[in-house]
Amino acid sequence: MPSSRLSAVFRSEFGKYIIAGSLAFACDLSALYLCTEMLQIHYLTSTLLGYLVGLGVSYWLNITWVFTFRKYEQRLVELTIFNGIVVVGLLLNQTLMYLLVELVMIDYLQAKFVIAAVVMSFNYSAKKLLLFRRTPCSQEHSGPNMDETSQ
């Protein structure tokens, strides 16, 4: 793929989502490893903690850099829907971690890579559909420059 095409991919919304998701995943994976190996926390608890760290990174990057269109003017509405998506993603994350480690007998770090692909696909699709997709009656609410009074 020529460098100009590759550059265009990474400037696209989905390309930015991949970059943001990769950064969030790196934070998630680092927290998972640190909590499990260094702090001796059970891997399922560490999985939850890592997911929450990644969530913070993901939310910030999604609303400030990835998605330029925001369907909801009120941040509380947006955050509530975002958190609903996150809860479903968290349930997928925890369930798949348990199944892959306990039943399939995959190492928790290897399982995390499989799980990340599944959860990332779900999260992108749900966020795009519910939060960041233009509809015929939607109004433009720009990303980071939204009016602070709309919180």
For residue 43, give the nearest of 88, 110, 119 by alpha carbon.
110
The position carrying tokens 């939060």 is 131
- Cβ of 26: how many Cβ atoms within 10 Å? 12
* Structural domain for 102, as ranges: 3-134
pLDDT value of position 37: 97
Buried b (16+ CB within 10 A) or exposed e, 81-95: bbeebbeebbeebee
Residue pair 119/93 in contact (Cβ under 8 Å)? The answer is yes
Please report whether residue 16 resides in a domain: yes
Residue pair 96/122 in contact (Cβ under 8 Å)? The answer is no
Tally of domains within the chain: 1
Please report whether residue 143 resides in a domain: no
The position carrying tokens 């995959």 is 106
pLDDT value of position 69: 80
Predicted TM-score of the model (pTM) = 0.75
Pairwise CA distance, residues 30 & 50, whole Å? 7
Tokens representing 53 are 């760290």
pLDDT value of position 126: 94
Please report whether residue 142 resides in a domain: no
Please report whether residue 145 resides in a domain: no
Please report whether residue 47 resides in a domain: yes
Please report whether residue 27 resides in a domain: yes
Which residues of the chain have a pLDDT value below 70?
1-3, 5-6, 8-10, 136-151
pLDDT value of position 145: 39
Please report whether residue 120 resides in a domain: yes
DSSP 34-76: IIIIIS---HHHHHHHHHHHHHHHHHHHIIIII-SB-S-SSHH
Please report whether residue 148 resides in a domain: no
Q: Compute the half-sphere exposure of residue 103: CA atoms within 13 Å on the CB side of its CA.
A: 6
